[in-house]
Amino acid sequence: MEFSTVLQSLLSGLTLGCIYAALGLGLYVVYGVTRVLNLAQGEFVMLGGMITVSLSAFGVPLFPAILLAVAIVSLTGAILYRFIIFPARHASGSTLAFLTVGFAFAVKGLTLLVWGWEYRTLTSFLGSPSIHLWGATIFGQAPWVVGMTILMVAGLYYFFGRTMLGRALRACADEPLGAKTIGISPARMGLLAFVIAAALGAVAGATITPLTMTAYNVGIPLTIKGLLAAFVGGMHRAEGVILGGLLLGLTEALSAGLMPSGYHDAIALSILLVVFLARPRGLLPAHANIED
Amino acid sequence: MLRAEYMATRSGFPHGSTDPLLELRRLSVAYGRLVALKDVDLRISSGELVCIIGPNGAGKTTLLKLVNGLLKPSSGEILFRGEQIESIPAYKVARCGITQMFQDVQLCPTISVLDNVMTGCHVWTRAGFLSTGFRRGHAREEEATMRASSLEQLNALGLTDRVTAMPRELSWGEQKLVGLARALVAQPSLVLLDEPYGGLMQHEIDKLSTLLRRLTCGGVTVLMVEHLTDVVMDVASKVVVLHYGEKIAEGEPQAIRNDEKVVATYLGE
């Protein structure tokens, strides 16, 4: 295989990996705080992209359009928590996950009604041109995707590690009973987690749309990729989710470079299955508990 | 909101000395057919250190869970400063001025000792998501106050050199002290302690007893569940004995030690 092909696969894999990591981070935030597997995370991404495209089409400048999309999608996240998850909060984890699937289908149907079935796209942010490097091509939007993921990770580390609210969210995630007895409201923290996840999803959706395009039906496949990233890396740690996302993206891209395009999903999923079998709790399992 | 403002506005409850601070009236709770507590009456005044003793399954921990709102009673009332609190959720009970240290401490394992204690200040926080995220003036000021109070609390409990440690790096006794610091940092009126002496070494037991005496001298009220009878008789101002969910005795430690019914059912010879 030529060097330029390998380089191209690596660059594509890095970009794909960042997309999957961004998806997984949304799932991680919600799962970490509420222990709910939010299977509607991909819909937040899809909505973020669709709303940004529409606002841009109405002449709203790109970055204000993204901010508005983030606000609207965050509100959608709040609705999902307040009206669907919170009333059913005593139900089992699988029931709550199914409820989020129901919400995902509702969003998908409404999006089809409002926007139709056409795929939509945006131009690269600020018209960033493609870069040619040793025979490989870096699409103009790819550095934005990588930058967005880095910013997301940095933002989450800052928020969870350095702010009072972030510490309260972690306390609520790790020791929900203890958190209640020091005045932390699990309902408020759950709402906050869903809003943060929806906002992350919206930013990811707007950023990846110039690369991947968006349509009413992209949400569920995106959720599945995010889930794979989170499961492979380890759902309990942000580092695990990022590692899982990058591994998934690189595996997909390298297998696409080596095999006919129809096989690349199968190859990637087979390799990930092996990882699952070898380390069922993910590559980076949860931090040890105190009593361990 | 700073600590002083929080103390002045705590959940709209009346301030000043209210006697009794905590009152349980005919409190009962059942898990299905199993009656865990039956018609328990109890009055606790400010500054008292009340110990609940009794054999396993007597309903001691259940009683604490009822007071802190983690369980709802089947019948009866819980009054704190004269206001009914039995139907409000646990996080709001904490905002009334009641905090708890659990038997297994329940520290957050992924954040440092100082951060764990700072979470105990959560009841003061008024800064919203955006002001916290962007560290606007009042959010910064709020956090600085919480940090200072938490350091002060850790210092008072002799943990100054452990502030940056992670909980897993601490001994069991130190973890208990951190749990106590987290429960005390919000300056509660009533602290609930579930077997605080469990698993401690003798020198740690002595240290904790000194701390508890100092706390009650400072006006904090303590309601504690404990198995170590000698320690209970040493530190408690009042002892309550539960047996199969019923209160069989209540009084000063010496009176309880000599109570024939208590000796027969729990203390032994």
Per-residue pLDDT tens for B249-262?
899 998 988 888 88
User: Is the Cβ of B118 closer than 8 Å to some Cβ of chain A?
Assistant: yes
| Beta strands B238-243 and B49-53, pairing class | parallel
Give me the torsion for CA of A11, A16, A20, A25, rounded to 10°.
50
A-chain residue closest to B140, CA distance: A163
State both tokens at A23: 């998806």
Q: What pLDDT, in 10s, does the model give residues B68-112? A: 999 999 999 999 998 999 989 988 998 889 998 888 878 888 889
Q: How many CB atoms lie within 10 A of CB A171?
A: 28
Give residue A236's pLDDT: 79
Distance from CA of A124 to the nearest CA of B (A): 28
* Max Cα distance, chain B (Å): 64
How long a stretch of residues is chain A? 292
Instruction: For chain A, give the mean pLDDT.
Output: 87
Q: Across the interface, do B109 and A174 touch by the CB < 8 Å criterion?
A: yes
Predicted TM-score (pTM) of this structure: 0.83
> What CATH number corresponds to the domain at position A65?
1.10.3470
Q: Is residue A1 part of a domain?
A: no
Q: How many CB atoms lie within 10 A of CB B105?
A: 25
Q: How far is it, in rounded angstroms, from Cα B102 to Cα B122?
A: 18
Q: How far is it, in rounded angstroms, from Cα A113 to Cα B95?
A: 46
Q: How far is it, in rounded angstroms, from Cα B38 to Cα B247?
A: 8
Q: Across the interface, do A167 and B111 touch by the CB < 8 Å criterion?
A: yes
Q: Is residue A136 part of a domain?
A: no
User: Is the Cβ of A186 closer than 8 Å to some Cβ of chain B?
Assistant: yes
Q: What pLDDT, in 10s, does the model give residues A194-208? A: 999 999 999 999 999
Q: Is residue A110 part of a domain?
A: yes
Distance from CA of A43 to the nearest CA of B (A): 24
pLDDT band at A290 (very low <50, low <70, confident <90, very high): very low
Q: How many CB atoms lie within 10 A of CB A19?
A: 26
State both tokens at A181: 């007895």
Query: Which residues contact residue A122 at a Cβ distance below 8 angstroms, ignoring those fewer than 6 apart?
Result: A49, A52, A53, A56, A62, A206, A209, A210
Nearest to A23 by CA among A227, A276, A193: A227
pLDDT band at A291 (very low <50, low <70, confident <90, very high): very low
Q: Which domain holds residue A47?
A: 7-124+141-278
Residues of A in contact with B142 (CB under 8 A): 164
Q: How many CB atoms lie within 10 A of CB A98?
A: 15
| Beta strands B221-225 and B34-44, pairing class | unpaired
Using CB atoms, which residue from A165, A174, A186 is nearest to B108?
A174
Q: Is residue A287 part of a domain?
A: no
Share of chain A above pLDDT 70, in %: 96
Which one of B67, B91, B142 makes the best mutation probe of the A interface by having the most chain A beta carbons within 10 Å?
Answer: B91
For residue B269, pLDDT over 60 is answered with no
Q: How far is it, in rounded angstroms, from Cα B196 to Cα B143?
A: 29
Distance from CA of B199 to the nearest CA of A (A): 13
| Cα distance between the two ends of chain B | 54
State both tokens at A256: 């696409």
Report how many domains make up chain A: 1
Q: Is residue A69 part of a domain?
A: yes
Q: Is residue A291 part of a domain?
A: no
Using CB atoms, which residue from B89, B110, B129 is nearest to A192?
B129
User: Is the Cβ of B103 closer than 8 Å to some Cβ of chain A?
Assistant: no
Q: Is residue A182 part of a domain?
A: yes
Give residue A272's pLDDT: 72
Give residue B15's pLDDT: 43
SS3 A169: helix
Q: Is residue A289 part of a domain?
A: no
Q: How far is it, in rounded angstroms, from Cα A146 to Cα A156?
A: 15
Q: How far is it, in rounded angstroms, from Cα A222 to Cα B235?
A: 60
Using CB atoms, which residue from A159, A180, A289 is nearest to B91?
A180
Q: What stretches of chain B adopt beta strand conformation (E)?
A: 22-31, 34-44, 49-53, 75-80, 83-84, 98-101, 190-194, 221-225, 238-243, 246-251
Give residue B229's pLDDT: 86
Give residue A1's pLDDT: 63
Q: For residue B71, give the amino acid letter.
A: L
